[in-house]
Structure formats: structure tokens, C-alpha cells
Amino acid sequence: MALLPIIKYPDPRLHKVAKPVAAVTQQTRKLIKDMSETMYAAPGIGLAATQIDVHEQIVVIDVSETHDELRVFINPVILELDGVEESEEGCLSVPGIYETVKRANRVKVQALNENGETFQLEADGLLAVCIQHEIDHLQGKVFVEHLSHLKQTRIRAKLKKQRRETL
Ligand code: K1U
Ligand code: ZN
């Protein structure tokens, strides 16, 4: 089992824009396995390659309680967004911070799976929120950047204090 270190906000590497995967290979599948193990161990319901300092368009998500519904999105593209909903989000790169974010409540996404096959998925609820959150990561955006500047400043101060106390 390979657990990968997760980059923590405000590390500038979280702002890199991920490149499309040119071909889905055994190496891609090994990375997906390591990413999913890292996500389950964290524990989390999603992980973007950006968060482990790999700047390729790869996302893993499992919003099930039983941890048996792993979804893989390679080169994901949002085709449709619909509705608006506010919900609480967390982020493995921003530990201990949970904030309300406004996003679309339905999403249609197209991506490649781990075999390099194209698929489309329509999602709502937590899965829709998680897909948008993870695609933001691939575009170099962290969820706190949906919040006011004042909240972002407070979050950075809180994380700095957390880090001082754990040293
Ligand atoms: O991208 C990430 O850092 C993962 C993040 C995904 C996410 C959570 C909530 C709303 C949108 C996106 C997390 O998984 S944070 C941890 C978390 O939500 C959780 C952890 C354990 C059990 C259930 C949820
Ligand atoms: Zn996140």
C-alpha cells in the first residue's frame, strides 16, 4: 500500500493547472491505486492528483459509506451545470476547516475511466459537489477561494496557528 503525502494550503503548488493525460497506461493505473488508498486512509471522499503534487488531470471519488464505489475521472470536462445549492465542504489540503460553499447542485461530466474509455455521468447532491471541488483542484483552485477575502485571511491564520502547535 502506498500512501502519498498531501500538499497543504497555502502551498503554491496547489495553484498549478493540471495537464491532460495523453494516454492511460499501467503507470496511470498505479497512480490511481495509490491515490485511492491515500484518499481512503486520510479519510476523504475525493482526491485530485494536484493534491499529491502530480499535475495531471486525474481525480478519484468515493462518496459511499461502504468505500466500495470508487469513481475515476481522467481528463474530466463539465458539460452541464444546473441549479444552485449551498453545502458544507472540507478539503484534505485544508485540514480542520469546514465552510459553506455555493455551487451547482447538478452536474453532467465527461471523462475517461481507468481503461481509457470515455463515459458521461450525471450527478447531484454530494457527488455533484465533490466533482466540482475536485475539478477546481485540477484548475489550481482551492475551495476556500470561493469565500470572502476576510474568511480566507482568517483560515490562513488558523492553519498557521495549527501548524505552530503541532511542531
Ligand atoms: O478534495 C479533497 O480534499 C477531498 C475532500 C472532498 C470534499 C468533501 C466535502 C465536500 C466537497 C469535497 C474531502 O474528502 S474532505 C473530508 C470529508 O469530507 C470526509 C471525510 C471522512 C468522511 C466523510 C467525509
Ligand atoms: Zn480539496
Taking Cα atoms as reference points, which of 140, 151, 127 lies closest to residue 50? 140
pLDDT for res 30: 98
Residue 35 belongs to domain spanning: 12-166
Percent of the chain with pLDDT over 90: 96
Respond yes or no: is residue 80 known to be catalytic: no
Residue 63 lies in a domain: yes
* Statement: residue 121 has pLDDT above 90: yes
pLDDT tens-digit series, residues 124-148: 999 999 999 999 999 999 999 999 9
Where residue 150 sits, what CATH number does that domain have? 3.90.45.10
Query: How does residue 72 score in pLDDT terms, banded at 50, 70 and 90?
Result: very high
Give nearest CA residue, ligand 1 atom 9.
Answer: 89
Residue 3 lies in a domain: no
Residue 79 lies in a domain: yes
pLDDT tens-digit series, residues 98-112: 999 999 999 999 999
Mean pLDDT of 45-56: 98
Residue 6 lies in a domain: no
146 lines ligand 1 (CB under 6 A): no
Q: How many domains does the chain have?
A: 1
Residue 4 lies in a domain: no
pLDDT for res 50: 98
Residue 96 lies in a domain: yes
Contacts of the segment 101-106: beta carbons below 8 A, 24+ positions apart: 101/129, 101/143, 101/146, 101/147, 102/146, 103/128, 103/129, 103/132, 103/133, 103/146, 104/128, 104/132, 105/129, 106/80, 106/81, 106/82
Residue 133 lies in a domain: yes
Q: Which ligand is nearest the CA of 126, by number?
A: 1
35 lines ligand 1 (CB under 6 A): no
Identified catalytic residue from 85, 89, 134, 165: 134
pTM of the model: 0.97
pLDDT for res 94: 98
Query: How does residue 166 score in pLDDT terms, banded at 50, 70 and 90?
Result: confident
* Statement: residue 152 has pLDDT above 80: yes
Mean pLDDT of 72-96: 98
Query: Whole-number mean pLDDT of the chain?
Result: 97
What's the burial of 110, exposed, middle or buried (CB within 10 Å: 0-12/13-18/19+)? Answer: middle
Mean pLDDT of 52-64: 98
| DSSP letter, residue 42 | T
Residue 131 lies in a domain: yes
What's the burial of 12, exposed, middle or buried (CB within 10 Å: 0-12/13-18/19+)? Answer: exposed
95 lines ligand 1 (CB under 6 A): no
